[in-house]
Structure 1
């Protein structure tokens, strides 16, 4: 072994030793709780909700008044060379919003806040779906790895028996070659199962923030999602509806912003020459000659049309996804029921009888291999059916999330 490789292996050993190990398998509820604590998508959605709350708070604030000071008639020529002719004016001006701008801003901010609240619930529902699926995939990977280990053990024993029978002259040399080929295939399948297990373990570990190198899960059936009325809105529909409401509020705001505001001012002017004072009052109104905000109004209306169309599309997508998940779940339940019933028991018994019969010389190697492969295939199909059922349950739960 090279020196550099040894250093790397030693460093890897120290890194693994420094990681916390969890002796107990992780339950789904624990995985969901830990995932919520470390999820970047939830942190992002929570931050966006805080921002929406801040904008809603700011939307109702009135414009600030402005204080101004002016000094006139000094540092000129003739009698204006000094400050004797100076006129000093101190005034306060206050803009007054017209057209319902403040109310329209508050409506937009409230709609955006509702949107952010629903988006946070959607982020949580998406996280639940992803962790649930990853949890089920890790469970399936553990089952496949255990099955691959069992098949490998049987292949090792079969190769030993075949070698003994060939040595005593009961079976031809071809028998040993076939058993050795079966063992090589079992070794390759076990390596593949181990690789899939590592990948599934890493995926769930990333989702829940685990550093356990031997992360494992509890074998448990996922609860069915609660039934909803046929006309119940999904989170996706509610989010699209909130976006439509926000778009409608933006149209009102754009229309309000097309109305000119009034700025009123008042103050006091001091004449230094004779010590007199006078009040001043002013009003200014912009003339909407060049800018009446028509472009923004048109854009806001188009945004509202797009939001309405998106809501209609989301309703269709929700129906398809919910119905598809229900069909997938029904099919998966049928498959699990069929694969875990009498057929599986018969395959197990056939493999057991074939192994005993082969050792006693009643069956050929091919018959034994066929029986074992039939059992392995039945076990793999059952694992995949259980995984499909878990995926369908997660999909239906996501479609019915509120």
Structure 2
């Protein structure tokens, strides 16, 4: 019951801007369509509910609308043409001799601007457009990381619930053992010291139960913090800790790694660098400054038109360094992408094999080890009541069973956690039955 059902749903403005071709948001927008996915009540939450709340309320995602707004402002600035300037010049004013006063002044009023060469305006707009694509990809990476974290904390809570149940059963076993020891002591078949030890064991079991309850309370707070809530509004989470779904071959999983948004970021960053290269190349084309105006000669009371233009020389050579820098930055992005792919391969390999090992451990414990220990406890308890086994034999049999069941819970939680890591690395569901809920896969987010 931990898997996530995907289907189109409403979302924030930022989510609607995400490219529909990306697989990630087929995983992120979920709407429940069966009784398993619908929360049974206010005190119970499913993984689908947790993911939906985290995506809509997590503070780390709330910065993206502001980043989009900032890019929009930059886009408006990048689309502006060069400004016009109005200038006024006064010559031959306030001098000496014939040029004293303003009688011989030459007054000029002119309008000037710049003609951009090399299509600089389109290049600026291209950089902003690709910056928006980088921001989209970054938001997808953040959302996928959030999805993985929600799943991991959800599994932690689910495992903690099982540990609380186990601790409660351990406390009951300790109380039952105390009853049996007291009965034997009353019959004179065991010393009073064993009663004291059994009493101490029962109290320790109660303390262990309290500790697990406190740990569960903390983990619920940790989970609810992902959607900005400091006090959990649920009592339990729904899910089957011991259902793992079908195995998927490693090669098939790794083939999907290139679809991971973390890799997509490098692709869009590469396109951004190409846009920056084009922008740098446009700077090699010198802009032409022009002006046109009217000049009045006070001495002769005449007027005349004035015009002029100017452009820098050798701008291409002066801009070669900026072009080389932009090209080097693009090549650096491509190299970093290769490094990331190798790192993702290592992470996937570790998660894949650790998950398989955890599943093997759970199956061995469930089918062979725990049944044998349960039977051994029954027989040891019966033998202890008949006086054939000592108190230590009885306690050891009980502790071995509890330890095996605790190990089973930990292995099951590890299998689900590694499964969540695999899903985060591949940006796709690991298997249709991975967590016990059914998937409804939708390839086009809203």
Deviates more, 1:35-44 or 1:321-330: 321-330
Q: CA deviation at 1:282?
A: 0.7
Q: CA deviation at 1:388?
A: 1.0
Which residue does the alignment assign to 2:187? 168
Deviates more, 1:390-399 or 1:370-379: 370-379
Which residue does the alignment assign to 1:4? none
Which residue does the alignment assign to 2:29? none
Which residue does the alignment assign to 1:279? 305
- Classify the secondary structure of the residue corresponding to 2:323: helix
Match of 2:205 among 168, 182, 186: 186
- Classify the secondary structure of the residue corresponding to 2:255: coil
1:390 aligns with 2:409: no
Q: Give the distance between the partners of 2:424 and 2:73, measured in 1 at CA.
A: 30
8 Å Cα contact 1:224/1:393 also seen in 2: no
1:210 aligns with 2:229: yes
CA deviation vs aligned residue, 1:162-218 (integer Å, no higher than 9, x gap)? 234224311123422432443354244334423422331221122122243574432
Match of 1:87 among 106, 113, 124: 106
- Classify the secondary structure of the residue corresponding to 2:44: coil
The unaligned stretches of length 5 or more in structure 1 are 1-21
Match of 2:74 among 49, 55, 60: 55
Q: CA deviation at 1:95?
A: 1.0
Match of 1:230 among 251, 255, 258: 255
Which residue does the alignment assign to 1:34? 53
8 Å Cα contact 1:237/1:318 also seen in 2: no
8 Å Cα contact 1:68/1:92 also seen in 2: yes
CA deviation vs aligned residue, 1:90-148 (integer Å, no higher than 9, x gap)? 21112122234333323322222111111011110000000110111011112112211
1:322 aligns with 2:341: no
Q: Give the distance between the partners of 2:303 and 2:111, measured in 1 at CA.
A: 16
8 Å Cα contact 1:259/1:292 also seen in 2: no
The alignment of Structure 1 onto Structure 2 pairs a total of residues equal to 381
CA RMSD of aligned residues (A): 3.0
Which residue does the alignment assign to 1:77? 96
TM-score by length of 2: 0.75
8 Å Cα contact 1:52/1:116 also seen in 2: no
Higher RCO (Cα < 8 Å, 6 or more apart): 2
- Classify the secondary structure of the residue corresponding to 1:171: coil
Deviates more, 1:351-360 or 1:130-139: 351-360
8 Å Cα contact 1:247/1:303 also seen in 2: yes
Which residue does the alignment assign to 1:99? 118
TM-score by length of 1: 0.83
What does 1:2-401 align with in structure 2 at a 5 Å threshold? 23-212=42-231, 215-221=234-240, 230=255, 232-288=258-314, 292-341=318-367, 343-352=369-378, 354-355=380-381, 358-359=384-385, 361=387, 363-401=389-427
- Classify the secondary structure of the residue corresponding to 1:207: helix
Q: Give the distance between the partners of 2:121 and 2:42, measured in 1 at CA.
A: 59
Q: CA deviation at 1:29?
A: 1.4
Q: Give the distance between the partners of 1:163 and 1:228, measured in 2 at CA.
A: 58
